[in-house]
Every structure is written in structure tokens, then in C-alpha cells.
């Protein structure tokens, strides 16, 4: 094994994290190639299980997993399935050993809460943060410093689930550089490994989520054409299907004590794994009446049990192909991702579905983390010719009168994206608007995921239909939504702080952050300083790089101001004891480079457009003459 020689001046390294339902992995890029780091369990795979011991200790990984059948209620597995979900979500009603806390009020009901036998219940965000903290610590131990993280999420995660993942990252003290879709991450790892252009499908069946992504790899751009999936479908559901049968054989039921349910689930998992190598498997289990039984399962039985689940994935795949406007036979390859694709029937089903054998040269359990590490590296290097262009997984819309949905941004729109829609009043002298932003494909707002409700007040009385409310939705590269609204006839404008309908508020996360630190505010301030320094260092690097390429776009006085701001930031980073002087120097640099940045962007755009051949330009001019002539004449008419 190669060991990195410790360089005290080495910049902190960006890491990639696959925060999985069953296992989590942290990876980084060494000499241009991704590598998984060893977790606290001594292996790349860290079981995504957290145990809240009676002693107050929190265990993560294999040690926690060992407690699953002993103290199931204090042990949280598959927490990912509860991310961004509210206390009454159907997911909480399925077969499992979790003990959910009754929400005390409406605010609490916005998130699932686990009762782990402690005074304070824990949310999925907090549980996920424990897993992330453990991975972060492993990375710090091996890399000395961590400079930001890319965390992967299922492509089919909605806004609430993404936001929850980002919050978990923040809570773990990670700077979340980007949320990256898992299939896109896998494609990146494959694409950079195989250096091959073409149209690919990624079939990603994990422990709790299913994604399918159709993407085109060309000119170094990984362009997602369509994504589909189910954020509550995976290996866990196979386990449940097997466990239902085991419980029956044990003379038990889903209402039995949590220990019994946990035992059946764990036995189901063992049987499933054993069937990858053998045509049949058996396990000894305690049964009602004190005797033991031997439960047997054959591959054929397993195949029958999981077929309904596979058919659900098939439906999502056909829809994604339809959305992408391609047929299965046009695909150059199908890539398998996720631990559940190790099940043989899954592989043969995918082969039948797409009409070609799927590829799995890269370990389906590590490939997502590899892609995340590569993306983290790309983001911090600020160069290269590789870009990921992803899509919005689920349509965004606004509830209309009568409970329908006005879809403002359709699914599979390339992100980042934005759209405006105008609404009007329906009653005379109406002075406020209520808006409800939803995400999903269903016709009725009540059947979609509610993302946010907000109201705009203070509109002067007018007859119905006179006021104009312009709502703007914008979606960033992480598929995270921002909403703003203004009334255009009176100019009442309001950047609306959208109160999420689900999950935690910013204040909640801030409070948890302070509580999580040993010395509260003091620690938080120290952490802010570290973060400001990292940001400042990165800015120095980026600005100097910009100067070496585009210094000619700066006037002499501007150049002087930039140089001065750089010097100030350098000294602030060296001498500051709190974050604010560093932040102030960052703001100054930001300000003095603003116009220059715009010019640099214009240059980049001009270069992108000038990239075409002269031949094309001539053809263009010839064709365009017809419309131009027409426009000229019409201008004459209307002027």
C-alpha cells in the first residue's frame, strides 16, 4: 500500500461521500484516480447504522449494527428512507423496528422523530449527521485536513430530502460543496475511467432508493437527458418481503416486539446475500413455543418475491427512456450501481429490460463514492474540461384555485433553471396572496409533495383580476429551490423567506449546531473562523489564477484595487482571531472584482460561441437572411 507523505503545508483535500441507506463511503482523489478511505470499521464500507447507547455514547457502523437485534429501538438503520419526511409519512408505517416519537406539536410533525430512549428524540438529519461525522473523522485522520465535501443523493430525491441531506452535512461540520445525484456520480466514475462517449443508462438500486438516469457523454460533458425512480424502493423492500414470510413461520407478526421484527429482517438480509452464491439458503430462527425452526429460501422463491419490486423499476425505466426520447436499443451501455444489483435476478431483469447485458466493471458499491470524489476534485481544481449537467427530477408547480397544480418547471429540465409565472386576484379588494409550492407529477396539489407555503400581504384594494403577482422559482445546480415573489402593478416586492412545509428550519439547524458542540457559541465561532479561512484561501487562489489568464481585462486603477484587496485578505487570513475580519476582506475582494468577473464571463461566452467553424457561420448567414428580411419589413410596418 502506498502512503502519502505528510506535507504540513498541503491544502485540505475535498472529499466525496456516498451517504447510503445501507452503507456509507468516503473517497478522495489521489494522483488523479479516486480511492476509498478506510472508515472507523477498518474497511471502506461503513454500515449506515447509529446506536444511541444507554451510557450516552453514540456508536456508528459495525458496532452499531451489532446492536440492531439487541436494542433495536435505540439503533437506527436505513435512516436515509426518512430524510425529509414528516411524522405521518407512509414510510413510517412499513415493517420495521424503529420506534417513532409522537409529535408534540405541528412544528415537530414536520419531521420524523425517533424515540431512542433518551430525553430528546432524534431526527433523521441528526442521525445522518452522526454517520457523516464519523466519515469526516476518518478522512481527517488519513488526509490531515478536509476542505469541503460532495455528498451524493438519489437523483429522485425531492427538494425536502435534498435540503435535509445538506443540513446533515452542515450539522456534521462539513462544508457541502455540492449535492450530486448518485447515478450521475457513477457515470462520472465510469466515463473518466473508460474514456468513452455515448448514450448510457444508469440503473441504480440501493438499499432504500431506486434511480434510473439516461445520459449522454460527449465532449467531456455528462448531460443527463432524463431521470426517474422511486425514493422508497430498494433492497430493504426485498428484506421486508422475505421477513414477512419468516415472521409467519416463527409464529410472529409485524406487531411482535421490535426485537423479533429486527431479527426477522436481519435473517432475511442474510438469506438474500447467501442466495447470490448458492441456489438455496437456510437459517435457524426461534419460534413461538420456545423451539427453533429452520427457514429455507430458494433462488426461485426470492425471484418471485422481488418480481413486483423489479416491475416497479421497469416502469420507471420505460418512462425515463420516453422522457429522454430514446429507445433502449439506442443505448451504448447500461451501468449497474448499488448493492442490490448484486442480486442475480436484478441483473437478468435489467438485461431483459434494456436488451443488453449490463456492465459492472467498477464495484457497484463503491462507484458512487468514486464519482463524488472526482466531482469534489473537479470543483476545487477550477479547471479541466469535464462538466456534469443534471436535470430537475420532479416537476415544480404552484397550487391553483380548486386544488390543481400549475406546473411551472417540468421534470427533466436541465438545471440550473428558473421560471416565472403570473397570478392574479380572484376577489375584489383582495389584499393578500397565499401561495403553495409543490413538487411531483400528480394532478392534485394534495397528492404532491408540499414544499412551502407563503403569503404576500399589503396589496392595495383593487378589483378582482387587476393585481399581478409574479412568482419566480429558481433551481440551483443541486436541484435546490428558491422562491421569490412580487406584486408588479404596485411594485410591492418581497423576497420571501420560504418556510419549508417539511423538515427543519434554518433556526433549528443553527440551534442543533450549537448544542452539538462542546462549548456552544465559542466552538461555533472557532469553526466559523476556520471556514472563513478556507474560503479566503480558495478565493486567493482563484483570483490569482484569474489574473494570470485575464489581467488584460482590468484597467490600471482596478488592478491596483484588486492587488490591495488581495494583500488585505492575505494578512487577514494570517492574523485574524475571529471570522469577521476575514469575511470583511473577502467582501472587499468580491466587490472590487465584480465588474471584472462580468467581463471575464463575457469573454468565456464569446469563446464558447466562436468555437464553431467558419463554414458553419457562412451557412448560418445564408439561412438567416429570410427571417431577417421579414423582420426588417415588419419593423418598417410597426415603427
Partner 1 sequence: MTSSPFELLGVPVLFALDEAELEKRHRELSKALHPDRYAGRPSSERREALSRAISVNEAFRQLRDPISRAEALLLQLGRGVSETNQPKPAPALLMQVMEEREALSVARRAGDRARVERIAAAASGRAEEAAERMADAFSEDPIPVEHVLELLGELRYLRRLKEEAGAALDEL
Contact segment (CB under 8 A) with partner 1 among 52-60, 96-104, 122-130, 584-592 equals 584-592
> Cα dihedral angle (99, 103, 104, 108), rounded to 10 degrees?
130
Task: Choose between 134 and 478: whose C-beta lies nearer to partner 1.
Answer: 478
Task: Choose between 382 and 522: whose C-beta lies nearer to partner 1.
Answer: 382
Minimum separation from the CB atom of position 629 to partner 1 (A)? 6
Q: Does residue 484 belong to the site contacting partner 1 (CB under 8 A)?
A: no
- The DSSP string of 203-234 is EEE-SS-EEEEEEEEETTEEEEEEEEEETT-S
Using the Cα atoms of residue 25, residue 182, residue 242 and residue 86 in order, give the sign of their dihedral.
Answer: positive
Burial (CB count within 10 angstroms: exposed 0-12, middle 13-18, buried 19+), residue 222: buried
- Site size toward partner 1 (CB under 8 A) is 64
- Residue 441 annotated in active site: no
Among 4, 141, 218, 361, binds partner 1 (CB under 8 A): 218
Q: Does residue 22 belong to the site contacting partner 1 (CB under 8 A)?
A: no
Among 199, 498, 541, 553, binds partner 1 (CB under 8 A): 541
- Residue 89 annotated in active site: no
- The DSSP string of 342-367 is GSHHHHHHHHHHHTSPPB--S-TTTH
Q: Which residues pair with 614 in a beta bridge?
A: none
CA distances in angstroms from 81 to 157, 229, 464, listed in the order given? 10, 14, 45
Whether 368 contacts 18, CB under 8 Å: yes
Whether 50 contacts 127, CB under 8 Å: yes
And the C-alpha cell for 402? 380548486
Minimum separation from the CB atom of position 637 to partner 1 (A)? 8
Whether 44 contacts 25, CB under 8 Å: yes
b (16+ CB within 10 A) / e for 80-89: bbbbbbbbeb
Minimum separation from the CB atom of position 394 to partner 1 (A)? 13
The H-or-E segment that residue 298 falls in is: strand 292-298
- Residue 204 annotated in active site: yes
Q: What residues numbered 374-413 form the site for partner 1, per CB under 8 A?
A: 378-380, 382, 385, 387-389, 413
Task: Choose between 88 and 322: whose C-beta lies nearer to partner 1.
Answer: 322
Q: Which residues pair with 453 in a beta bridge?
A: 436, 499
Q: Does residue 586 belong to the site contacting partner 1 (CB under 8 A)?
A: yes
Residue 181 to residue 329: CA distance in whole angstroms:
25
Residue 260 to residue 65: CA distance in whole angstroms:
16
Sheet-wide strand order for 49-52: 58-60, 49-52, 75-77
Among 609, 614, 615, 636, binds partner 1 (CB under 8 A): 609
CA distances in angstroms from 524 to 54, 126, 171, 528, 572, listed in the order given? 28, 17, 11, 6, 19
Q: Among residues 223, 214, 220, 183, which one has the least CA distance to residue 333? A: 214
Q: Does residue 418 belong to the site contacting partner 1 (CB under 8 A)?
A: yes
Q: Does residue 361 belong to the site contacting partner 1 (CB under 8 A)?
A: no
Minimum separation from the CB atom of position 586 to partner 1 (A)? 7
Task: Choose between 548 and 607: whose C-beta lies nearer to partner 1.
Answer: 607
- Residue 18 annotated in active site: yes
Minimum separation from the CB atom of position 353 to partner 1 (A)? 15
Exactly one of 86, 204, 365, 377 is catalytic; name it: 204
Task: Choose between 29 and 415: whose C-beta lies nearer to partner 1.
Answer: 415
Among 199, 221, 326, 530, binds partner 1 (CB under 8 A): 221
Q: How far is CA 124 from the centre of its chain?
A: 15
Q: Among residues 236, 86, 75, 206, which one has the least CA distance to residue 158? A: 86
Exactly one of 80, 136, 272, 407 is catalytic; name it: 80
Q: Does residue 421 belong to the site contacting partner 1 (CB under 8 A)?
A: no
Q: Does residue 593 belong to the site contacting partner 1 (CB under 8 A)?
A: yes
Q: Does residue 444 belong to the site contacting partner 1 (CB under 8 A)?
A: no
Residue 414 to residue 412: CA distance in whole angstroms:
6
x-or-dash string of contact with partner 1, 152-191, rule CB under 8 A: -------------------------xx-------------
Q: Does residue 219 belong to the site contacting partner 1 (CB under 8 A)?
A: yes
Among 101, 274, 466, 597, binds partner 1 (CB under 8 A): 597
b (16+ CB within 10 A) / e for 545-579: ebbeeeeebbeeeeeebbeebbebbeebbeebeeb
Among 90, 279, 626, 636, binds partner 1 (CB under 8 A): 626
Among 254, 318, 526, 527, binds partner 1 (CB under 8 A): 318
Residue 148 to residue 174: CA distance in whole angstroms:
6
Among 477, 508, 510, 563, binds partner 1 (CB under 8 A): 477
Among 253, 488, 564, 620, binds partner 1 (CB under 8 A): 620
Which residues lie near partner 1 (CB under 8 A)?
A: 177-178, 218-221, 223, 315, 318-319, 322, 378-380, 382, 385, 387-389, 413-419, 474, 476-477, 538-539, 541-542, 586, 589-591, 593-594, 597-598, 601, 604-605, 607-609, 611-612, 616, 620-621, 623-624, 626-631, 633-634, 637-638
Q: Mind telling me the catalytic residues?
A: 18, 80, 182, 204
Amino acid at each position: 500500500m502506498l502512503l502519502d507523505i505528510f506535507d504540513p503545508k498541503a491544502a485540505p483535500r475535498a472529499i466525496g461521500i456516498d451517504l447510503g441507506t445501507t452503507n456509507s463511503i468516503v473517497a478522495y482523489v489521489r494522483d488523479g484516480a479516486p480511492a476509498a478511505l478506510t472508515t472507523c470499521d477498518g474497511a471502506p464500507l461503513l454500515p449506515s447504522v447509529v446506536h444511541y447507547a444507554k451510557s450516552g455514547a453514540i456508536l456508528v457502523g459495525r458496532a452499531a449494527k451489532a446492536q440492531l437485534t439487541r436494542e433495536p429501538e435505540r439503533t437506527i438503520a436505513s435512516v436515509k428512507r426518512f430524510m425529509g419526511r414528516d411524522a405521518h409519512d407512509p414510510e413510517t408505517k412499513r415493517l420495521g423496528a424503529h420506534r417513532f416519537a409522537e409529535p408534540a406539536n405541528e412544528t415537530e410533525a414536520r419531521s420524523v422523530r425517533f424515540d431512542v430512549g433518551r430525553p430528546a428524540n432524534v431526527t433523521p438529519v441528526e442521525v445522518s449527521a452522526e454517520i457523516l461525522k464519523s466519515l469526516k473523522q476518518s478522512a481527517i485522520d488519513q488526509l490531515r485536513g478536509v476542505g469541503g465535501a460532495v455528498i451524493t443523493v438519489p437523483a429522485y430525491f425531492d427538494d425536502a430530502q435534498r435540503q435535509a441531506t445538506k443540513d446533515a452535512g452542515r450539522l456534521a461540520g462539513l462544508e457541502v460543496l455540492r449535492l450530486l445525484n448518485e447515478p450521475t456520480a457513477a457515470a462520472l466514475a465510469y466515463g473518466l475511467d473508460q474514456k468513452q462517449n455515448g448514450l448510457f443508462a444508469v440503473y441504480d438500486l440501493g438499499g432504500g432508493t431506486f434511480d434510473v438516469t439516461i445520459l449522454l457523454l460527449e465532449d467531456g460533458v455528462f448531460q443527463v437527458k432524463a431521470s426517474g425512480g422511486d425514493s422508497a424502493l430498494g433492497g430493504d423492500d426485498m428484506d421486508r418481503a422475505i421477513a414477512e414470510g419468516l415472521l409467519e413461520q416463527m409464529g410472529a407478526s409485524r406487531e411482535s416486539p421490535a426485537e423479533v421484527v429486527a431479527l426477522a429482517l436481519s435473517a432475511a438480509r442474510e438469506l438474500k446475500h447467501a442466495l447470490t452464491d448458492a441456489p438455496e439458503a437456510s437459517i435457524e430462527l426461534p419460534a413461538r413455543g420456545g423451539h427453533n425452526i429452520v427457514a429455507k429460501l430458494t433462488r426461485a422463491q426470492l425471484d418471485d418475491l422481488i418480481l413486483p419490486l423489479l416491475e416497479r423499476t421497469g416502469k420507471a425505466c420505460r418512462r425515463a427512456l420516453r422522457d429522454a426520447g430514446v429507445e433502449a436499443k439506442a443505448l451504448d451501455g447500461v451501468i449497474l450501481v448499488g448493492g442490490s444489483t448484486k442480486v442475480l435476478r436484478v441483473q437478468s431483469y435489467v438485461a431483459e429490460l434494456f436488451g443488453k447485458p449490463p456492465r459492472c466493471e467498477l464495484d457497484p458499491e463503491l462507484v458512487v463514492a468514486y464519482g463524488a470524489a472526482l466531482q469534489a476534485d473537479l470543483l476545487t481544481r477550477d479547471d479541466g474540461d469535464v462538466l456534469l449537467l443534471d436535470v430537475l427530477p420532479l416537476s415544480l408547480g404552484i397550487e391553483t384555485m380548486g386544488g390543481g397544480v400549475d406546473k411551472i418547471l417540468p421534470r427533466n429540465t436541465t438545471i440550473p433553471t428558473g421560471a416565472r409565472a403570473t397570478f392574479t386576484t380572484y376577489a375584489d379588494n383582495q389584499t393578500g396572496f397565499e401561495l403553495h409550492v409543490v413538487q411531483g407529477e400528480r394532478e392534485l396539489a394534495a397528492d404532491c409533495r408540499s414544499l412551502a407555503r407563503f403569503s404576500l400581504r399589503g396589496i392595495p384594494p383593487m378589483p378582482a383580476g387587476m393585481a399581478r403577482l409574479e412568482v419566480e422559482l429558481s433551481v440551483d445546480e443541486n436541484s435546490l429551490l428558491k422562491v421569490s415573489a412580487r406584486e408588479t402593478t404596485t411594485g410591492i416586492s418581497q423576497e420571501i423567506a420560504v418556510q419549508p412545509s417539511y423538515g427543519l428550519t434554518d433556526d433549528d439547524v443553527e440551534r442543533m449546531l450549537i448544542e452539538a458542540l462542546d462549548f456552544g457559541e465559542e466552538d461555533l465561532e472557532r469553526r466559523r473562523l476556520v471556514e472563513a479561512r478556507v474560503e479566503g484561501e480558495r478565493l486567493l487562489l482563484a483570483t490569482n489564477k484569474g489574473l494570470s489568464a485575464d489581467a488584460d481585462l482590468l484597467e490600471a486603477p482596478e488592478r491596483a484595487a484588486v492587488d490591495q484587496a488581495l494583500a488585505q485578505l492575505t494578512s487577514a487570513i494570517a492574523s485574524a482571531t475571529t471570522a469577521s475580519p476575514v469575511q470583511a476582506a473577502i467582501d472587499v475582494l468580491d466587490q472590487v472584482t465584480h465588474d471584472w468577473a462580468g467581463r471575464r464571463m463575457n469573454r468565456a461566452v464569446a469563446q464558447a460561441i466562436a468555437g464553431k467553424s467558419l463554414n458553419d457561420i457562412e451557412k448560418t448567414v445564408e439561412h438567416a437572411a429570410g427571417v431577417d428580411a421579414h423582420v426588417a419589413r415588419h419593423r418598417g410596418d410597426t415603427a
